[in-house]
Amino acid sequence: MSRAFESRANEATDFDVDLADLKEINLPFLDELDHPRAGNYRLPHTLEWAKRVEAADAIVWATPQYNGSFSAPLKNAIDFLSAEWVGKPLGLLSWGGKSGGLDAANALRPIAAVLQMPVIEPIVGYVNYFADLNDDGTLTPTAEWTEAAKRLLTSLEESVEKNAA
Ligand SMILES: Cc1cc2nc3c(=O)[nH]c(=O)nc-3n(C[C@H](O)[C@H](O)[C@H](O)COP(=O)(O)O)c2cc1C
């Protein structure tokens, strides 16, 4: 799903897209001593993660829906940092079974509020994601999803431009 969104972003926007694959990044459970708000990061994996998030003009949190909410690795990756998130326009990309991932995305809203990240609409969900997967695990998204993804990307671009003005 994230790769399909990355393709749309590369095709349809001027964003220099950095897909942060949490499986590849493989952060441990939060293991810094100080509160992230202190910005006193000591560990190499935190410093690297902070640099990556800091470099972004806009963020998209992407998550499957598990048991009515978002995935644990995403929350862990969010909690590592603080100032690097604050104020950045945030898109929400989610997928699931019959829920389409909507509950997962909505459960991220209070976290965005704490980090003062404006949630940019629309939320982009995907119903019965696994049913549309190709044999090689790639996704050929529906036209409806592609349209929603484009709308989110356009709104994110507008939001970044507004922030820069
Ligand atoms: C532990 C677990 C819990 C799930 N809970 C939900 C759920 O609450 N609502 C829903 O619509 N789908 C649920 N699903 C279905 C997943 O969202 C769906 O299989 C999705 O494709 C998983 O994405 P992934 O392949 O990236 O892990 C759940 C799947 C798993 C493995």
- Check if 95 has its Cβ closer than 6 Å to any atom of ligand 1: yes
Query: Cα-flanking dihedrals φ and ψ of residue 59, to 5°?
Result: -125, 145
Nearest CA to ligand 1 atom 26: 64
Q: Specify the pLDDT at position 16.
A: 96
Q: Specify the pLDDT at position 161.
A: 94
Q: What are the pLDDT digits (tens) for 152-165? A: 999 999 999 998 88
Ligand 1 atom at minimum distance from 69 CA: 8
CATH class of 2-164: alpha beta
Q: Specify the pLDDT at position 139.
A: 86
Q: Specify the pLDDT at position 13.
A: 94
Are the C-beta atoms of residues 120 and 90 closer than 8 Å to each other? yes
Ligand 1 atom at minimum distance from 65 CA: 17
Are the C-beta atoms of residues 126 and 101 closer than 8 Å to each other? yes
Instruction: Provide the token pair at 95.
Output: 């997928």
Q: What does the domain layout of the chain look like in residue ranges?
A: 2-164
Spell out, as residue ranges, where the chain has pLDDT lower than 50: none
Residue 83 CA to ligand 1 center (angstroms) comes to 31
Q: Specify the pLDDT at position 91.
A: 98
Ligand 1 atom at minimum distance from 71 CA: 27
